Structure 1
Amino acid sequence: MDNNDKLIDEVAKIYKVLSNATRIKILYFLRYQENDVQVNEIVKQLNIAQPIISKQLGILRRYQLVRNQKKGNQVFYILDDPHVVEMIDDMLNHVKHEIKGLPHPKNLY
């Protein structure tokens, strides 16, 4: 397997991680926070049970999409890779475009 194949395999793994709506909601919530956020704040804002949020944060952390910091017995999270959310923005724009039934813009390449 050459380096390009390895990169493509990693890309596929990250797309699989991003195939979960709860994970995308967490990333978007963290995107608009100025500081690290406690798990209980994510739970409160997204109205999703704490065990579910914690499990999804663990997966996002494993793939370096979020990072955490412990302060005492509290854990705080922040985006580790904001450009991934920009990629999700592009997909959301694609979906909105498809829903409206608009033709795709001409390829600029």
Structure 2
Amino acid sequence: MPSDEIIDKMETMLNIASDFTRLKIMYAISEGEKNVTEIVKEVGASQSLVSHQLSVLRKNNLVRTRKEGTSVFYSLSDEHVVKLLDLVCEHAGEM
């Protein structure tokens, strides 16, 4: 069994990922980086909501950023996040 510290981190990560809008954002950027405008269009949420949720995801290391001029591009932090999304999606499809 993992340590209490690891379980605490797992709980935090799963709680953060359990938000409807954050899940849509993570799927939107799962196949490649996008800027806020592209994410807003794909997710169908307001720019302020998307920006806020991206901030939460970034603060918790689920999303990373890359700046190019005045644009900021978002992508998933690593392959583990993609695997987590895929596993949860697969399991949800079996329910």
**Same fold? TM cut 0.5:** yes
1:64/1:81 contact within 8 Å kept: no
How many residues matched? 94
Find the counterpart in structure 1 of residue 76 from structure 2: 79
SS of corresponding position for 2:61: coil
Provide the rounded CA distance (Å) in 1 between the counterparts of 2:4 and 2:92.
28
CA distance in 1, matches of 2:88, 2:44: 24
Among all aligned residue pairs of Structure 1 and Structure 2, give the percentage whose two residues are the same amino acid: 37
CA RMSD of aligned residues (A): 1.5
Q: Which of structures 1 and 2 has the bigger CA Rg?
A: 1
The aligned amino acid for 1:40 is T
TM-score, length-normalised on structure 2?
A: 0.87
Q: Quick one: distance in 2 between partners of 1:88 and 1:41?
A: 20
Which segments of 5 or more consecutive residues in structure 2 lack a partner in the other structure?
none
Unaligned runs of 5+ in 1: 99-109
Aligned to 1:28: 27
Aligned to 2:50: 53
Indicate conservation of the 8 Å contact 1:31/1:82, yes or no.
no
**1:97 equivalent in structure 2:** 94
Q: Which residue of 2 aligns with 1:39?
A: 36
TM-score by structure 1 length? 0.77
Match of 2:6? Answer: 7
